[in-house]
């Protein structure tokens, strides 16, 4: 299920309407420029160097991890490093095996085929992909019923780069056909600062170390969010200040956009406030919680909840969601003494 459009939330890790051009302008073009995932960069660099040394196409690559961490960027880098074209599509766009056959038959030798949201591909197309990945051919079925005939169609060697935010939904046979699998992790503040300084240079703006740290610390470990906040801080500095991105200007701009020092936004605080103030800290079901904050269940579950759980503000239990002592403290509320002592500040 796709998420509803949320083009006003600066902390939404999913791409927003109209920002594709801005994102493309800031993407690194090589592994040397790609920051924040040193383990993945080193491993992927070795795979590409070995393929160049042998004169073959690189093995198929599976990239998994939360949205906004650089999966699409890495696919573009693979094509750029190998000096080959890039073909881009997504799982939901391939509903029939014929759709996939048409794409594969049009590939050139060595081309990188980037399949985003690969876990959402239809089952018939998925089964066709198995043969294409292993033997570089597809069987095109001509006719129907008993008279149907499968005609093998050879396709040139290519590299499939699959991206997914839900690696657990991929069937085992598909995962096993990837020669290299990488799990992208959230970025630390230092890596985000490096990304922000590079982006600021490309945008032609001056960004000091303190201002970069201010933005990076509120970016939820996600480069897409960091670059989005940088653009909005830049706008604030140009319109309401003298154009300089100082720590004070950055803090004022992020306060305007309701991004607090820990990276929580309006939705995050609304979820915690409803959980603590209306439901006594929980447990409460996700549907009830979403209704309390007037949001879609998918938005609360996919956008707000992962960050709140990761930062220790909320936990998921078999009976529902529960607020931790850190949530009560962050909201400035006193946790009732009669609540079960399931958590402690040191956990």
Q: Which residues are catalytic?
A: 71-72, 116, 165, 224
Q: Is 163 helix (H, G, I), strand (E, B) or coil?
A: strand
Q: Which long-range contacts (CB under 8 A, 24 or more apart) does 291-296 make?
A: 293/267, 295/267, 295/270, 296/3, 296/4
In degrees, rounded to 5, the angle at the alpha carbon of residue 220 between the alpha carbons of residues 200 and 225 is 40
Give the residue among 88, 7, 117, 67 at the shortest CA–CA distance from 224. 67
Beta bridge mates, 58: none
Question: What CA–CA distance (Å, rounded) separates 303 from 10?
Answer: 11
DSSP 207: B
For residues 264 and 314, give the distance between their C-alpha atoms in angstroms, rounded to a whole number: 13
8-state DSSP, 200: H
List helix spans (H) across the chain.
20-26, 38-54, 71-82, 97-105, 123-135, 172-176, 189-203, 209-216, 223-240, 247-256, 266-273, 286-292, 297-299, 305-310, 325-330
Gap between the Cα atoms of 3 and 36, Å rounded: 27
Bridge partners for 159 per DSSP: 112
Token pair 């020669």 is at which residue?
Answer: 179
Cα distance between residue 189 and residue 347, in whole Å: 22
């Amino acid at each position: 299920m796709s998420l509803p459009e949320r083009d006003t939330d600066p902390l939404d890790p999913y791409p927003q309407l109209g920002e594709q051009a801005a994102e493309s302008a800031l993407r690194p073009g090589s592994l040397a420029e790609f920051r924040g995932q040193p383990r993945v960069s080193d491993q992927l660099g070795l795979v590409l160097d070995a393929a160049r040394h042998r004169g073959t196409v690189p093995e198929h690559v599976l990239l998994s991890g939360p949205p906004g961490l650089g999966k699409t960027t890495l696919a573009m880098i693979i094509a750029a490093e190998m000096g080959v074209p890039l073909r881009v599509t997504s799982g939901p766009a391939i509903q029939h095996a014929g759709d996939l056959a048409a794409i594969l038959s049009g590939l050139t030798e060595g081309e990188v085929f980037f399949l985003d949201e690969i876990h959402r591909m239809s089952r018939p197309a998925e089964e066709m992909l198995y043969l294409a990945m292993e033997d570089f051919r597809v069987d095109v079925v001509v006719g129907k019923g008993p008279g149907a005939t499968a005609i093998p169609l050879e396709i040139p060697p290519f590299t499939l780069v699959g991206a997914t935010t839900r690696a657990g939904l991929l069937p085992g046979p598909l995962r096993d056909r990837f020669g290299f699998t990488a799990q992208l992790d959230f970025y630390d503040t230092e890596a985000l600062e490096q990304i922000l300084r590079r982006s600021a240079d490309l945008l032609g703006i001056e960004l000091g170390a303190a201002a970069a740290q201010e933005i990076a610390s509120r970016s939820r470990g996600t480069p897409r969010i960091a670059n989005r906040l940088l653009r909005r801080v830049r706008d604030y500095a140009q319109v309401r200040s003298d154009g300089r991105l100082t720590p004070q200007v950055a803090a004022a701009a992020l306060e305007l956009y309701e991004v607090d020092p820990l990276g929580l936004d309006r939705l995050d605080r609304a979820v915690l406030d409803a959980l603590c103030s209306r439901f006594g800290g929980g447990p409460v079901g996700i549907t009830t919680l979403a209704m309390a904050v007037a949001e879609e269940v998918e938005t609360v579950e996919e956008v707000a909840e992962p960050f709140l759980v990761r930062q220790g503000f909320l936990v998921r239990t078999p009976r529902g969601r529960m607020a931790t002592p850190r949530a009560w403290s962050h909201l400035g509320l006193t946790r009732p003494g009669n609540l079960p002592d399931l958590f402690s500040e040191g956990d």
